A = this chain, B = another copy of it.
Amino acid sequence: MVPIGLISKGIFHLMDLPVKGYTVGRPELLEAPIRWKGERILLKLPPALLRHSLELSTFVREVTGKEVIISARPSFGACDISPGECSLEGLAGVLDLGHAPMPTVYSRRGCRALSVPLEAVVDKGVLEKVLESIPLKSPATVGLLTTAQHLSLLKVAEKVLGRRGFRVLVGRGGKRLFFPGQVLGCDLSAARAVRDDVDLFLYIGTGQFHPRGVALSTGKRVLTLDPLTGLWGEVEEGERERFIRRRYGAMMMAKELIEAGEPVGIYMSNLLGQRREALAYEIRDRLLERGIEALLFQSELLTPGQVRDLSLKVLVNTACPRIAVDDYPLYSEVAAILLTPLEMIAILEEKPPEDYVLDEF
C-alpha cells in the first residue's frame, strides 16, 4: 500500500513507481482519481510500460482503491483516449500514466479522463555538468523546452544556465499544454510564445521530432540535450530546408495523382484529443468545389493495411500530425501519399515552399 498521506496539494513530491527508471512526477494529480465516483479505472500506458501492466495496475489499485482494467493498446499521448475507453460499465474514469494532462480533452462530454506524467529517473549531477559545458555564447536569452517525462529538469537547467549568466525564458503554451515549457508534436505554442524574446532554444528530451518541429516553427537555433544519455546536439541548419523539400516532394506526387483522377481520402480519428471534424469537412468542401472527388474516412486508428485495402492513393490526415510526417514511409510502401491538412490546402492554393506551415492543433 502506497502511503497516500504523502500526497499533498501543491507540494512537489516524487513517488516511486514499482517500475525501474520512472517516478510519478506530480503525485498530487493522483488525488483526483481517488475521488472519482465509480468502481473501475481504465489504465492507459505508453508503449514502454505495457509489459509492466501487472505492477502498474496493482500500484493504481492501491493508490486509488478502485478496480483497474488495462487498455490493451499503447497510449501515445493525452490525446489518445477513445469513446470506447470511456464506455465501460461502472467506469470511474480513464487514467493515462506517462503524459501531461491535456485539459481540452477532459472537457469532452461523457468522458472523465486524466493524464498523470511520469518522470524518467535522471542523474541530475551529471546533467548539471553537461549543462555547464554546453558551448553557448554569453550574453544570450535561452528558451527552455521539454516533454512530460523531464519536466523537473527545467528547474535544473534554469539554475545552471542562470549561474552561467544566461537569461532563461520558459514559455506558456496553448490549451492543449498543461505545463510551462512543454511541447507536443501537435502543439509547439510554448516555443512560439517566447520566440521573439529568445536568441535560441534548449530542448531537454529525447528524439528529433520535437526539436526539429521547434526549429521549423520558430526559425530559431535549437540545441538539444538528451537527459538519458547526457549527449547534447543541435538541429542542423539545413534541416528546415531538407524537411520542406521532402514534404514538397510528397505534395507534388499527390498533386499528380489528383490531376490523374485519383479521389482524395480525408481521415478523421475518433480519439477524443485528435478530432478535427470541422477541418475535415472544410477540406472536403474545398476539394469538391474544385471538382476533386473527396471521401471522408473515420476510425479509432489508421494503419497502412487499411489504406491499402481502401485502395487509397492520396490521404489527408486530420489526426496526429506524426502519422503523416513520421509514418510516411510505412504508407508509401503501400503506394499511398499521406498529407497534412495544411499541405492539402497549400496544393489547392499553390503556395510556394517558403510559406510551408507545420500542422498544429
Interface residues of A (CB under 8 A from B): 42, 47, 50-51, 53-54, 57, 68-74, 82-89, 263, 267-268, 270-271, 277, 293, 295-300, 302, 306-307, 309-311
Chain B residues, Cβ within 8 Å of A296: 68-70
CB distance from A229 to the nearest CB of B (A): 24
Query: Is the CB–CB distance between A270 and B70 below 8 Å?
Result: no
Bound-state Cα–Cα, A86 to B83, Å: 9
Chain B residues, Cβ within 8 Å of A270: 84-85, 87-88
Name A90's closest neighbour in chain B (CB-CB): B277
Chain B residues, Cβ within 8 Å of A295: 53-54, 57, 70
User: Knowing that A54-B263, A73-B306 are A-B contacts, what are 18 other residue pairs whose CB atoms are under 8 Å apart, sorted by A's residue number?
Assistant: A50-B306, A50-B311, A51-B309, A51-B311, A53-B297, A54-B295, A68-B296, A70-B295, A70-B298, A72-B307, A73-B299, A83-B83, A83-B87, A84-B271, A84-B299, A85-B270, A88-B270, A89-B277
Bound-state Cα–Cα, A324 to B65, Å: 32
Bound-state Cα–Cα, A85 to B268, Å: 11
Chain B residues, Cβ within 8 Å of A298: 42, 69-72, 84-85, 88
Query: Is the CB–CB distance between B72 and A310 below 8 Å?
Result: yes
Bound-state Cα–Cα, A70 to B88, Å: 25
Bound-state Cα–Cα, A200 to B166, Å: 87
Bound-state Cα–Cα, A268 to B88, Å: 10
Tell me the number of copies of this protein.
Answer: 2
Chain B residues, Cβ within 8 Å of A297: 53, 69-72
CB distance from A353 to the nearest CB of B (A): 30
Name A297's closest neighbour in chain B (CB-CB): B72
Bound-state Cα–Cα, A54 to B310, Å: 9
When the two chains form the complex, which single residue of B54, B72, B267 contacts A306, counting CB atoms closer than 8 Å? Answer: B72
Q: List 28 A-B contacts (CB under 8 A).
A: A47-B309, A50-B306, A50-B310, A50-B311, A51-B309, A53-B295, A53-B297, A53-B310, A54-B293, A68-B296, A69-B297, A70-B295, A70-B310, A72-B267, A73-B306, A82-B83, A82-B84, A82-B300, A83-B86, A83-B87, A84-B298, A84-B299, A85-B270, A87-B270, A88-B270, A88-B277, A88-B298, A300-B300
Bound-state Cα–Cα, A71 to B89, Å: 25
| Nearest 7 interchain pairs by C-beta | A84-B270, A72-B299, A72-B297, A83-B83, A51-B311, A83-B87, A69-B296
Bound-state Cα–Cα, A268 to B85, Å: 11
Chain B residues, Cβ within 8 Å of A309: 47, 50-51, 74
Beyond A70-B297, A70-B298, A83-B83, whether A310 also contacts B51 by CB under 8 A is: yes
Chain B residues, Cβ within 8 Å of A87: 83, 270
Name A86's closest neighbour in chain B (CB-CB): B83
Bound-state Cα–Cα, A291 to B51, Å: 21
CB distance from A318 to the nearest CB of B (A): 12
Query: Is the CB–CB distance between B72 and A302 below 8 Å?
Result: yes
